[in-house]
Amino acid sequence: MALKYNRILIVAASMATPRAEVKYINTWIYKLVNNYPDLHIIDKSKRGLSSRALIRESLLEDYDPNLVIMQLGLSDCAPRYLQENALSTKIINNLPGSLKKTAYYFVKKYKSRRMKNANVNLEAFKKNFENYIIRAEKKSIDIICLLISPVGESFKIKNPEIQKAIEAYNNVLVSLDGKYSHFTTVECFTEKTISEYLLADGHHVNESAHNIFLNKIAPFLS
């Protein structure tokens, strides 16, 4: 079967990367490369990658792909104890090691993770994605965006607002899907279907889940 694309750029965060429980050969990216040898695949996945990186030409124009596959968002939306750029955060981070450790002990004891402290707020998240989508549209580049996957119960206990945040940020992505014809969102898991695939950390997934990611992507390639 003929393929629609010949040069694919992958822009993804830690969900796509290998870890102790999931070796590189078991990730969806490796499987994509292995299953489609005729495709030129440019892997720019990186742990902790957020939508802030989307404004860089190094994640689009420098590679001139036909298709971009995206999988990021949790680093953007995850509720935090403190705002990343707040003065208090900067002061704590500049303390000597033992004092810094003590300061964060009390932060975690008396504060809770809140959506308002996310590293990238909803407005900025939408702006970052829309900027990228518009630039891709001008070059007739299609984008497939895997929605942020739900987390497990153990993760929700540590971060009670996390699922609310995931849903809000996914809603932004879905709204952009409705606005731009070349930007397509793909839901891979729901809260009900994710549990059997989760690793001990409650948000990354096992090899079987990577097979599902690949199976969700494959129909768009031909």
pLDDT in tens, 48-81: 999 999 998 889 999 999 999 999 999 999 999 8
- What is the tens place of the pLDDT at every residue in 105-123? 877 887 888 999 999 999 9
Number of neighbours of residue 96 by Cβ within 10 angstroms? 8
Q: Kindly list the domain boundaries of the chain, sorted by start residue.
A: 7-79+118-221, 81-113
Q: What pLDDT, on the 0 to 100 scale, is given for residue 72?
A: 97
Task: Please state, in angstroms and rounded to a whole number, the distance separating the CA atoms of residues 50 and 76.
Answer: 6
* Inter-axis angle of helices 207-217 and 28-35, nearest 10: 50
* Coil/strand/helix, residue 11: strand
Helices of type H across the chain:
28-35, 74-77, 87-93, 97-110, 122-138, 153-158, 162-179, 207-217
- What is the tens place of the pLDDT at every residue in 12-55? 999 999 999 999 999 999 999 999 999 999 999 999 999 999 99
Model-level pTM?
0.92
pLDDT of 1 strictly over 80: no
- What is 7-79+118-221's CATH number? 3.40.50.1110
% pLDDT > 70, the chain: 100
Under the banding of pLDDT at 50, 70 and 90, the label for residue 158 is: very high
